[in-house]
Amino acid sequence: MVRLAQGLCEYCRCPERYSSTTFSIEHITPRTKGGSDEASNLAFACQANKLNAADPIHVLVWDERQPRQKEAYENFLGNEIVERLKATTTDLEFRSVALDDAEQGLSAGNLEWADVIIWWGHVRQG
């Protein structure tokens, strides 16, 4: 892919070697909308143009999951935020993680996947 694109973002033609951000391979038509993993459906893109690409933006919602949250939110606040956001858009994909998860929810896989991280907390940040 990189060689085919000659090291340039296929959207804005910015050279990867001069970019301060990581380039990635994006789907032109997202898999969620029937797009394939074939080379003809992939584009080499800079992060500035990820918003222009067809793949959804990955949002990681990270929260404390304090036991008292269950008094107001049966499935914890972070999960509630994710469920409500999912109901409003198809342009974003969400994951909900917590401080009590392995690696405090911020595993290398989650960090690599996420384009945006939203922290929601009260008690533990003091």
pLDDT reported for residue 52: 55
Give the H or E element holding residue 8.
Answer: none
Query: What six digits make up the tokens of 9?
Result: 């973002």
Residue ranges for the chain with pLDDT beneath 50: none
What is Dmax (Cα atoms) for the chain? Answer: 55
- In this predicted structure, what is the pLDDT of residue 61? 93
pLDDT for position 103: 94
What is residue 113's predicted lDDT score, i.e. its pLDDT?
A: 87
Tokens 């929601």 sit at which residue? 120
Per-residue model confidence (pLDDT) at position 4: 79
CA dihedral sign, ordered 78, 80, 86, 88: negative
Looking at residue 6, its pLDDT comes to 86
Looking at residue 55, what is its pLDDT? 65
Give the model's pLDDT for residue 95. 93
Q: What residues pair up with 118 in beta bridges, in sequence order?
A: 61
CB 27 within 8 A of CB 8: no
pLDDT of the residue at 19: 77
pTM of the model: 0.56
Give whole-number Cα distances, 114 to 1, 40, 117, in Å: 22, 25, 7
Instruction: Give, in order, the Cα–Cα distances in Å from 115 to each of 8, 13, 17, 104, 124.
Output: 21, 21, 21, 18, 24
